[in-house]
Amino acid sequence: MEITQDWGTIIVDEHGKLVDASADLCENFGVKRENLIGISIDRIIQRASNKNRNKVFYGIIFGHSCLIRVSHTNSHKTYRILVRQEDIDSFEVVSFMNSLNPDKEKKRESGQNRYSFDEIIGESSAMKKVKELAARIATSNSTVLLTGESGTGKELFAQAIHGLSTRKNNPFVAVNCAAIPDELFESELFGYEAGAFSGAKREGKPGKIELAQNGTLFLDEISELPYQMQGKLLRVLQEREVERLGGTGSKDVDIRIITATNRDLRILVEEGKFRQDLFFRLFVFELSIPPLRKREEDILLLAHSFIDYYNEKFGKPGEGVKYIDEELTERLLIYAWPGNVRELKAYIERGMHLVMGETLTLSDLYVASKKTTAATKQENKQESTVLESLEEEVQRAEMNTIKRALEASNGDRTLAAQKLKIHIASLYRKIAKYNLK
């Protein structure tokens, strides 16, 4: 198959605005250079992964799947389109990439080390800080406590930490403490010997702790661990040995424990529901995963990632959904996402079942327009303590400033956000707040 040398280049300024497009790009994509000048690169290259890094990445340009290389020159960036979907079959590319790293698929099939930090989507400053800290923690063998709201991706971080540790080639065993009945917990976690109870296997059974030998044991929702089992887990942490139910001796274990909770363990300790000595054992490194509403820059990145995932899952790679319309984009950015990333993924999945065509719209999935979570209600309650007159003056000044920025930008919200030196997601929220449409 003959492949074109390249499909053209795009040059943008420090603000991400297009300042030049090569003649071959205009010819290959059927566009006019004068119509592109001044347009944001985000409107030209859509559904791009890591396009700000100095390397080759994937993106959609004028409806075509492309491989693009970005390079930096002073205050400008040059995007060179290396390959377009007409050149090669997308399935061949996937197969080729997998052939370069055969261990990756093998690990995924075994459920071991399924996620790395590169696969945790997030370019916001909050997520970059958490991933950097998690990567530093990963190289030790100390216990880690992951905290954060439900749906923020705590298990992904646990697996990524395991994958970067010296234990990465050994088991990663996950246990949801809230999903196991109290009467079965001891046998599941610690295992049992033959004849330990009625119905026990003749040969006995190793528990999750033993199965994680030389690897990582991940205890999700640790706050739901029965109080009696908390004492037994504390002994494992202190003595590094485990005793099966019905057994007469102990077995040495070499495991790293990572725990996660969406509740405040300190409060549970004060209420007498969680052992203080166990809390101190778990509270070596605490890693707090930020909620989605605190990382607005990542919302659209995640949404496009889920679209890619479901395009592939539904058998439509390269020809399924490619865009998110402006109305839905705005709604995604101003919604509070009480269920965090898990909720966003569920919304996108529902929309992907209903969408007709290549653009996901608000009619394909309903997203509430107002913040309704308990956390945001508390934030609003705290904000209400400010003097009303001062609040009104601040809002009036903010609204007028946004109006002037939009007028100066001829309605271009990306440019207006740059003038205001705020993120585009924040601008969308403020436009909705003041009903400036």
Query: Where in the chain are all domains bearing CATH 1.10.10.60?
Result: 386-437
Give the residue with greater pLDDT, 413 vs 104.
413
**CB of 284 closer than 8 Å to CB of 140:** no
Report whether 425 contacts 297 (CB < 8 A).
Answer: yes
Delimit the CATH 3.30.450.20 region(s) of the chain. Answer: 9-88
Homologous superfamily of 117-288:
P-loop containing nucleotide triphosphate hydrolases (3.40.50.300)
Q: What is the mean pLDDT of residues 328-352?
A: 91
Q: How many Cα atoms sit within 13 Å of 364 on the Cβ side?
A: 25
The Cα–Cα gap between 437 and 433 comes to 10
The helix-helix angle for 413-420 and 424-433 (nearest 10°) equals: 100
For the chain, give the percent of residues with pLDDT over 90: 31
Distance CA(259)–CA(268), nearest Å, equals: 15
- Flag whether pLDDT at 96 surpasses 60: no
pLDDT at 367: 62
In the predicted model, what is the mean pLDDT of the chain?
Answer: 81
**pTM, to two decimals:** 0.62
Q: Where does residue 62 fall: left (phi above 0), alpha (psi -120 to 50 degrees), or beta otherwise?
A: left
Instruction: Judge contact between 243 and 250, C-beta under 8 A.
Output: yes
pLDDT at 102: 45
Q: In the CATH hierarchy, which fold is given to the domain comprising 386-437? A: Arc Repressor Mutant, subunit A (1.10.10)
How confident is the model at residue 412, as a pLDDT? 86
User: Where do the CATH 3.40.50.300 domains begin and end in the chain?
Assistant: 117-288
Q: Which token pair is 419?
A: 């003038």
Model confidence band, residue 94 (pLDDT cutoffs 50, 70, 90): very low
Q: What is the pLDDT of residues 227-281, one digit of tens each?
A: 888 998 999 999 999 888 877 788 899 999 999 999 999 999 999 999 999 999 9
pLDDT at 213: 92
Range picked from 35-49, 375-389, 413-427 for highest mean pLDDT: 413-427
CATH of domain 294-383: 1.10.8.60
DSSP state of 197: S
Provide CATH code, domain 9-88.
3.30.450.20
More confident residue, 433 or 171: 171
Judged by DSSP in three states, 74 sits in: coil
